[in-house]
Structure 1
Amino acid sequence: MFQQWQQQIAHAAANDVHLRIRGSGSKDFYGEQAAFDAVLHTRDYAGIVDYDPAELVLTARCGTRLADIAAALDECGQMLAFEPPFFGAHATVGGCVAAGLAGPRRAQAGAVKDFVLGAQLLDGRGQCLNFGGRVMKNVAGYDVSRLLAGSLGTLGLITEVSLKVLPQPPAQATLQFHLPQAAAIEKLNAWHGQPLPLSGSLWTQGVLSLRLGGAAAAVSAACAALGGELLPPGEAAMLWYGVREQTLPFFNDLAAGERLWRLSLPDTTAPLALKGAVLLEWGGGQRWYRTDADAAPIRAAAQKAGGHATLFRGTPRQGETVFTPLPTALMSIHRRLKHTFDPHNVFNFGRMYAGF
């Protein structure tokens, strides 16, 4: 497989061919929809290389299905704590890391990059590079493996990745409160300042859902202190699955002209004066807007609040970009990184920003 990939990469580099890296294609919708000359497939390069539950580390090849990893971890009572969305039954771990998307537990557990311990990479010259390691404590060299998280495959082909895993919480509970958006944001910020076993939050259509996870005594005490309505376990599981996989009606009932925007904001930000439906996650730090508005007012509102906006689902209109345009200095850093790892623009050219 490596030799086949290296030959394909060498041919692409020599002939100005742009390759699209694809596992299952579950994240194809995300990012700029650039044109490619050929596809580099990864699904056949699969399998868990090493998993030591005692060390809380799992290493897998890029084409390994997230579902297979989740099943292996579940047998040992462990999990990927950043709760990655699959968006498809055949979603792969390589695509998971390259997309850098995390689920409801992100605000408490951390981002994808926080769990990447090491990675193996084929760069734009076909060279095999290794970064990080397979242990929790590793301080050797530059932390390039974390840089790969969210890079959308623009720096190279992630062939193998080592991830930190964590134990599943012994107990979970979901409480619901009927609150307007402003009051929900205020409550979430107050609760985040307390020693509560929070593991997820959601507000939409006047209902705030709060997930608790940890020791049974801690979850029970938190439920008693917070009040609210306790959601039955089955309904709670379906709710958080719907948030992670975006199967809730909010994400799927887009009217003609509507697009789905993801705003990253300080969690104390008051409700924004944007038209359209809104859904809050991560204690108010991630806000989804379903709207037919253009990019300019959305990005202006996000920037004024100290955040940024991404067009998550939908087609950019004339002059728009999927990701917030970067300042000149940051764009220069991105270009230099791209050139260092992929000087011939072989991989996922234009998937993040136009021109590289």
Structure 2
Amino acid sequence: MKRRTFLGAAATMPAALAAPAVATAQTTVRWRMPTSFPSSLATIQGGAVRLAEKVAELTDGGFEIRPYAAGELVPPLGVLEAVQTGTTEAGFSPGFFYVGKKPALAFDAGVPFGMTARQHYSWFYHGGGQELLDGVYGAFNVVSFPAGNTGAQMGGWFRKPIDSMADLKGLRIRAAGYVGYVFADMGAVPQQIAIGDLYPAMERGTLDAVEFTSPVDDETLGLNKVAKYYYAPGVLELGASLGMMVNRDALSALPPAYAAALKAACSWSYLDMLARYDSQNVAALRRLIASGTELRAWSPDILAAMRVSTDKLLAEQSAADPDFKTIYAHWKAYLDDQLRWMSVNDVAAENVLIRG
């Protein structure tokens, strides 16, 4: 995902952001918003902080949202439950952390060989995705708005080279959502480990590999100090969307102007986070390589195996889960159309520029 291509799709956003600014501060609303991320990550966790600041700005301080880093208020993977039960009014987390509760939640964040950040935003707001996901989250008494996106992620950090399928057998890798399922289907052993525990797990040798996000985050976590080999391209996560999960009852109780401000702030936050990743990943990758990181490309055989595993797993889940089947069919048709369009113009033009 190129920063400039996304900016074009969001060119009308400033006008939308201006409307809620008239909200008065006569009504004071205070929410709590736990996240799944440590405070050290200025990109993802910082996104939650900036989102809260934008809501306060648009409501003249009348609507206050206090973000909490992972573990400060609820466990890192307990955000959805906290919002569902009303323990907190909101939460900030990707839907694919909770596929064990409902597999279709993966489409709120991203699945392997899926949508870019730009395509996801388009599908959600203009392709029917919001209505479909509202039905999924409704079972949890939750509404989720896209409020951030990492853009395309890297393939992960590995202590040893991955030259063939045999190298994945028994490999203990941290990988979330369907990314973990794909690695499992290929013979690895995925682990769900809190982000703040990734470095010590790699250092102790209880993990062999980590798939997290992108150079700027991975550098902050110090993953280059416990693994040497950094793989690309990140076909298993072409754009991970972060959701602002809101308790339905809390949302219904908001003054209309505050609800409008919240939705506008989420759209702003989505674009802002993506732009920060696109800006900061370039320098971070250069520093990682300079420090001794070995950048490697997946072999054609492994890429092909990843695609086969992905298609098989999505088909199997569709056969077993009517909700998943409905969303997957709709999502896939939209993605196929987007890929046809982008192959004609955006991607074709970018390839010309890359080749020089």
| TM-score normalized by the length of structure 1 | 0.26
More helix by share: 2
Report the structure number with the largest CA radius of gyration: 1
| TM-score normalized by the length of structure 2 | 0.26
